[in-house]
Amino acid sequence: MGDFITSFLSGPVPIEAYLAVSTIMFFAGVYGFLSRKNMLMVLVSVELMLNAADLNFVVFNRYLYPGQLEGFFFTLFAIGIAAAETAIAIAIIINIYRHVKSIYIDENITKMKN
């Protein structure tokens, strides 16, 4: 039994496994984006969706063009842009909190209408 497990784990991982993980990550992000009321949790959900897309870039680069690194470089730029986007979003959330004293979406929408 131990030989079967080591031979199974040492083989190449099929592309479907990576795509399944990426799909689960993306839809967990969509669910979190639609269901959360806290702005920070919405931001985390958006980041989860971006990471799922980055995983797809790397996987398709690895399987379609194994000797080239365009997918990896594109993913590095996407991670850098996501970091900048997170910094700006957190700054916006802090300013909203200073103005409204809450980071919950429902409360902020009604208070910011006035």
pLDDT tens-digit profile of 54-93? 889 888 888 888 888 887 888 888 889 989 999 999 998 8
pLDDT tens-digit profile of 76-87? 888 899 899 999
Q: Which of 96, 100, 95, 90 is nearest to 47 (CA)?
A: 90
Degrees to nearest 5, angle at CA 31 with 112 and 39? 30
The whole-model pTM stands at 0.76
Structure tokens at 46: 């958006």
Q: What is residue 93's predicted lDDT score, i.e. its pLDDT?
A: 87
Which domains occur in the chain, in start order? 1-112 (1.10.287.3510)
Gap between the Cα atoms of 114 and 46, Å rounded: 28
Q: What is residue 24's predicted lDDT score, i.e. its pLDDT?
A: 96
pLDDT tens-digit profile of 4-47? 555 555 668 888 898 999 999 999 999 999 998 888 899 999 99
CA–CA distance from 113 to each of 14, 28, 43 (Å)?
51, 30, 22
Q: What is residue 102's predicted lDDT score, i.e. its pLDDT?
A: 79
Q: What is residue 15's predicted lDDT score, i.e. its pLDDT?
A: 86
Q: What is residue 31's predicted lDDT score, i.e. its pLDDT?
A: 96
